[in-house]
Amino acid sequence: MTLTMTRDAATRGGGSPRPHRPLITKRNIPYLLILPALLGFVSFKAYPILAALYISLTSGAGAARTFVGLDNYVRLVNDPLFWTALWNTALILVVQVPIMLLLALVLALGLNSPLLRLRGLWRLGVFMPSLTGLVAYGVMFSVILSKDSGLLNWVLGFFGVDAIDWLGSPFWARIAIVIALTWHYTGYNAVIYLAGLQSIPKELYEAAMVDGAGAVRRFWSITVPQLRPILLLTVVLSTIGTLQLFDEPFVITGGGPDNSTLTISLYLYENGFRYFDFGYAAAIAYALTLIVAGFGLLQLKLTGGKK
């Protein structure tokens, strides 16, 4: 209303009256609608990603930055700590992801059961760990895992198990990370599975029951195939997440002891913010990106997820 009036006033004010072309047309409205997201993407994602690529080809910091070509990448390949980090990450990935996803599936089946009472409460309980903040999480686990006064060793003591040096032994420190990760993310995956389970049409089960299929048969022939895309999604997400693992080793073990829980992201952080070696840190970031992309493609290929 106001707009029209002003425009009229302007036209009357002088100059040749031109046919007005509206700013917003059918053609450009989709672009206008995605503009805020696009601006956000360009300034907070695209720019840093490209800047990091350039930084990875340089050495030094601030005013002392010089172009060094692929030096950082050559150094990376020859860096034993990078391979240690890669190996640690792979170990944790191979052990933790299957355990977590299996557990999540079992939890989801339980939560989805019509026999379960106080369903909301249980679901909240399962999901709660994924909402825990980094610092609270770190403090909690250092108390639980403490060798002499930790909750876990206290409980194990009742079963006659000797105190385990959770954070002091390379082997147990890795197990500690696996436990923490599983605690943190199982609920998250369980909720995804739960949503998947609820979208499976009941008619399929009813028809199978009429045909005389037992519970186990129904699980393997209906639930699993129907959940397949969601299973694939969680496997890919968890793999990528674990490859980028940072929080847990950062707050619980600090990468130790003797680098046994050093992960790629943690090594990246140390190089960037402890050693001020931004060029090298950016090179690690790009190496990590390549690895993640490679894994993602491989998984999609292997599981035929493209169909």
Partner 1 sequence: MINRRGVLALTLAGTLTLAACGGGGEKAESGGPVKITVWSWKPASDGLAAVAKDFEKANPNIKVDVQVIGNPAIWEKITVGMAAGGKGLGDILHIGIDYLPSYVDKFPGGLADLNKLGAGKYKDAFAKGLWPTVTGKDGGVYAMPWEVNPIGFFYRSDLFEKAGIDAAAIQTWDDAIEAGKKLKEKTGASLIGLNKPAAGSMDMDFYQSLLQQQGAFYFNQQGDVTLGSAPAVQAMTLIKKMNDAGIVADTSGEGTAKKLISSGKLAVLPWAAWAASYIPEMRPEQKGLWRVMQPPAVTSGGKRTAIVNSTHLAISGTSEHKAEAFKFIEYALTKPEVINKVFKEGGVFPALTAAYSDPMFSAPTEYFGGQPALKTFVDSLTEGADATFYSSDYARALKIASDAQTQVLTKGADPAATLATAAQQLAQQTGRKLAG
- Report which DSSP code applies to 161: P
Return contacts of 118-124, CB within 8 angstroms, 24+ apart: 123/191, 123/194
Taking CB under 8 A as the rule, does residue 185 contact partner 1? yes
In terms of Cβ atoms closer than 10 Å to its own Cβ (0-12, 13-18, 19+), residue 260 is: buried
Contact with partner 1 (CB under 8 A): which of 119, 219, 275, 301?
Answer: 275
Q: Does 244 bind partner 1 (CB under 8 A)?
A: yes
Among the listed residues 72, 112, 182, 265, the single contact to partner 1 using CB under 8 A: 265
The verdict on 58 binding partner 1 (CB under 8 A) reads no
Regarding 149 and contact with partner 1 (CB under 8 A), the answer is: yes
Pick one of 38, 217, 258, 302: the residue that binds partner 1 (CB under 8 A): 258
Residue 61 vs 200, nearer CB to partner 1:
61
Name residue 66's beta-bridge partners. Answer: 59
> Does 87 participate in binding partner 1 (rule CB under 8 A)?
no
Q: Can residue 246 be called a binding residue for partner 1 (CB under 8 A)?
A: yes
Asked if residue 193 binds partner 1 (CB under 8 A), the reply is no
Q: Which amino acid is at 116?
A: L
C-alpha distance from residue 124 to each of 6, 28, 118, 188 (Å): 55, 44, 10, 11
**Which one of 205, 254, 295, 299 is in contact with partner 1 (CB under 8 A)?**
254
The length of the chain, given as a count of residues: 307
Residues in contact with 272: Cβ distance below 8 Å, sequence separation at least 6, in sequence order: 278, 281, 282
Query: One symbol per residue from 118 to 137: x for binding partner 1 (CB under 8 A), - otherwise; what is it?
Result: ------------x-------
With contacts defined by CB under 8 A, name the span among 10-18, 113-121, 210-218, 247-255 that binds partner 1: 247-255
DSSP, collapsed to helix, strand or coil, labels residue 277 as coil
Decide: is 4 part of the binding site for partner 1 (CB under 8 A).
Answer: no
- Cβ atoms of 151 and 69 within 8 Å: the answer is no
In the chain, the DSSP E strands lie at 58-59, 66-67
Binds partner 1 (CB under 8 A): choice among 269, 299, 303, 305: 269
* Pick from 302, 174, 304, 165: nearest CA to 245: 174
C-alpha 181/C-alpha 173 separation (Å) is 12
Determine contact, residues 190/267, Cβ cutoff 8 Å. no
Q: What's the min distance (Å) between Cβ of 251 and partner 1? A: 10
Q: Please work out the total of residues on this chain that contact partner 1, with binding judged by CB under 8 A.
A: 62
Task: List interacting residues with partner 1 (CB under 8 A).
Answer: 44-45, 47-49, 51-52, 55, 60-64, 78-81, 130, 142-143, 146-150, 165, 167-169, 173, 185, 188-189, 237-238, 240-241, 244-247, 253-254, 256-259, 265, 268-270, 272-276, 278, 281-282, 285, 288-289
